[in-house]
Amino acid sequence: MTVITRFAPSPTGKLHVGNIRAALHNWLWARKMGGRCLLRIDDTDTERSEERFVESIRADLGWLGLPMDGEVRQSERFGLYQAKFEELRAAGRVYPAFESAQELDLRRKVLLGRGLPPVYDRAALALTPDEIAAKEAAGERPHWRFRLDHSAPIEWTDLVRGPQHFEPHLLSDPVIRRADGSWLYMLPSVIDDIDMGVTHVLRGEDHVSNTATQLQMFAALGAPLPQFAHMALMTGSEGKLSKRLGTIGISDFREAGIEALAINAMLARLGTSDPVEPVTDMTPLIERFDFAHFGRAPARFSDEELKGLNAKIVHHLPYEAVADRLPAAITAQVWPVIQPNLARVSEAADWLAVLGGDLAAPQLTPDDAAYVTQATEALAGIDFASDPWHALTSALKKATGRKGKALFLPLRLALTGMDHGPDMAQLLPLIGRDRALARLRAAASNIASA
Give the chain's radius of gyration (CA, Å): 32
d(CA 421, CA 273): 36
With contact defined as beta carbons under 8 Å apart, do 253 and 21 qualify? no
Give how far Cα 6 sits from Cα of 30, 110, 141, 226, Å. Answer: 9, 40, 34, 12
With vertex at residue 7, the alpha carbon angle to CA 272 and CA 71, rounded to the nearest 5 degrees, is: 150
DSSP letter at 114 equals T
Q: Which H helix or E strand runs over 239?
A: strand 239-240
Main-chain dihedrals φ then ψ at residue 98, nearest 5 degrees: -115, 0
d(CA 66, CA 154): 34
With contact defined as beta carbons under 8 Å apart, do 286 and 309 qualify? no
Main-chain dihedrals φ then ψ at residue 140, nearest 5 degrees: -80, 135
> Each residue of 331-352: pLDDT tens digit?
999 999 999 999 999 999 999 9
DSSP letter at 183 equals B
pLDDT value, residue 238: 54
**What three-state secondary structure class fits 40?**
strand
CATH code of the domain occupying 358-444? 1.10.10.350
DSSP letter at 420 equals S
With contact defined as beta carbons under 8 Å apart, do 231 and 271 qualify? yes
Handedness of CA 232, 237, 243, 245 (dihedral sign): negative
pLDDT in tens, the chain (450 residues): 899 999 999 999 889 888 999 999 999 999 999 999 999 999 998 889 999 999 999 999 999 999 999 999 999 999 999 999 999 999 999 999 999 999 999 999 999 999 999 999 999 999 999 999 999 999 999 999 999 999 999 999 999 999 999 999 999 999 999 999 999 999 999 999 999 999 999 999 999 999 999 999 999 999 999 999 999 998 876 544 444 566 778 888 998 999 999 999 999 999 999 999 999 999 999 999 999 999 999 888 888 899 999 999 999 999 999 999 999 999 999 999 999 999 999 999 999 999 998 899 999 999 999 999 999 999 999 999 889 999 999 999 999 999 999 999 999 999 999 999 999 999 999 999 999 999 999 999 999 876
Annotated binding site: 243
pLDDT value, residue 46: 86
pLDDT value, residue 175: 97
pLDDT value, residue 241: 42
Give the end-to-end CA distance of the chain in Å, rounded to a whole number.
81
Annotated binding site for ATP: 243
d(CA 380, CA 389): 12
d(CA 197, CA 66): 20
Nearest to 234 by CA among 223, 226, 242, 244: 242
Across 156-173, b (16+ Cβ under 10 Å) vs e yields bebbbbeebebebeebbb
pLDDT value, residue 124: 96
Residue boundaries of the structural domains of the chain:
1-76+232-316, 319-355, 358-444
List, in sequence order, every residue forming a beta bridge with 5; answer none if it has no partner.
Answer: 37
Q: Which amino acid is located at 63 in the chain?
A: W
List, in sequence order, every residue forming a beta bridge with 249; answer none if it has no partner.
Answer: 16
With contact defined as beta carbons under 8 Å apart, do 241 and 235 qualify? yes
- Give the predicted TM-score (pTM) of the model: 0.90
Nearest to 92 by CA among 120, 118, 129, 121: 129
The CATH class for the domain spanning 1-76+232-316 reads alpha beta
pLDDT value, residue 242: 44
Same fold, 1-76+232-316 and 358-444: no
With contact defined as beta carbons under 8 Å apart, do 183 and 177 qualify? yes
353 alpha-carbon distance from chain centroid: 34
